[in-house]
Chains A and B, each alone.
Chain A
C-alpha cells in the first residue's frame, strides 16, 4: 500500500514539506510513503489547452492514480489555499466523472508559523477535495508555531500524524476490499 504526500508550498525548507516527512515515521508495516514534487511544473489550468498533453499533469495524475491514499499538507496564503495547489487540484479534478481523486481516501494537514496552523486553508482544501469526489477523511490537523514544533517533534505531534496515517490506511483497505 502506498500513501502519496503532496505539499502545497514550493519553497525549500517549507514547514509543510517537513510536516509531510513526519508521516514516514509513523507508517504501519507494509505501507510505503512517497512525496510528489512536481507542483512547480504544473501549467495554469486552461480549458482551451486542456487536451494538449502535459508531462507534469500526467505525472500528477499517474502519481495519484498509483497511490492508495493521499496526504496533502497545505500552507495558508491570505486566508486560503495556495494558488499553485488549487491549480494542481483543478487539473486533478478533470475529467469530472473519472478523475483520479474520485473515491480516493485523502487527508488534509497543514502547518504555519502562526498560532492556528492555517485552519482556513485546511477547511477550504477539504471542501475542494469533497467536491472533486475524493473521500476526505475526518482525521487531520493544523500545526501552529510549526518551526518550533517541527524542530523537535513530540509524541503529541507524532500521535496526531499516526492517527491520520492509520485512518488513511483503514479507508484505503476498505476500498481495496470492496473492489
Chain B
C-alpha cells in the first residue's frame, strides 16, 4: 500500500539497492501436467534508479529440493551454467499507476535476449530501524522457456510432458536507498 496521498506515477527517486536477505527470486513450472514445481535463486543483484530496473542472477545459485535435479538444471539440457553463468534483466519502460507497475524490458537467459512484459507492485518507501529508506517491489511474468533454449522434456505415458514450457518468474524485492556520496 502506498503511503502517498496522491497516486504515484513514478518510482521514488534515488538509487535503490537490493537487500538480498529479505528478497527472493523464484520460478514455478508445471510438473507432470498437474502440479506446480517451485525453485529459486540464492544469488542475485537488483538496482532501481533513474535508468530503471536492472538485475542479474547467478545461475549456479539455482535452488531446488533435489541435488541431482540441481545438477541437471545447471547442465546444457537446461541453463548451461558453464557457458551462461548469469541471466539478466534490464527495463526499457516503466509505467507506474499508484501501486501498480508495468515494466517492459529485455530478459537475457542462456544467451538469448527477448522482450518481456512484467506486472508488479511497488510499496513504500518506509523508514527502517536503522534509519534507512526501504522500498518494496514485487514483479511477476511468464516466459516460454523453450524460446530461450531450455528445451529438455520427457513425454508421459498417456500424453503430455513432464515439464511445462511456461515458467512463471516471481521476484519479491526489498531495496535500500543508497546514501548519496
Compute how far the CA of A131 lies from the CA of B77 in the bound complex, rounded to whole angstroms.
7
Q: In the assembly, what is the distance between CA of A134 and CA of B72, in Å?
A: 9
Contact code string B77-89 (vs A, CB < 8 Å = 1, else 0): 1001011000000
**Would you call A133 an interface residue if the criterion is a C-beta within 8 Å of the partner chain's C-beta atoms?**
yes
Q: Is the CB of B76 within 8 A of A136?
A: yes
Q: Is B64 an interface residue (CB 8 A)?
A: no
Tell whether A96 pairs with B152 under 8 Å between CB atoms, given A102-B75, A131-B75. no
Closest 6 CB pairs between A and B? A133-B75, A96-B71, A130-B77, A103-B82, A135-B76, A131-B72
CA distance A130 to B80 in the complex (A): 11
What 0/1 readout, one digit per residue, does chain A (113-134) give for beta carbons within 8 Å of chain B? 0000000000000000011111
- B17 contacts chain A at the CB level, 8 A cutoff: no
Interface size class for chain A? Answer: 10 to 19
A139 CB to closest chain B CB, in angstroms?
Answer: 14
6 A-B pairs (CB sep. < 8 Å): A96-B68, A97-B67, A97-B70, A102-B82, A130-B152, A133-B75
Chain B count of residues within 8 A CB distance of the other chain: 13
Q: Which of A133, A136, A175 has the most CB atoms of chain B within a 10 A radius of its CB? A: A133
A103 and B80 alpha carbons, distance in the complex (Å): 8
> With a CB–CB cut-off of 8 A, which chain B residues contact A131?
72, 75, 77
A52 at the interface (CB under 8 A from B): no
Interface residues of B in 92-127 (CB under 8 A from A): none
B74 interface residue per 8 A CB criterion: yes
Least distance between A19 CB and chain B CB atoms (Å): 25
What's the Cα separation between A135 and B70 when bound, in Å? Answer: 16
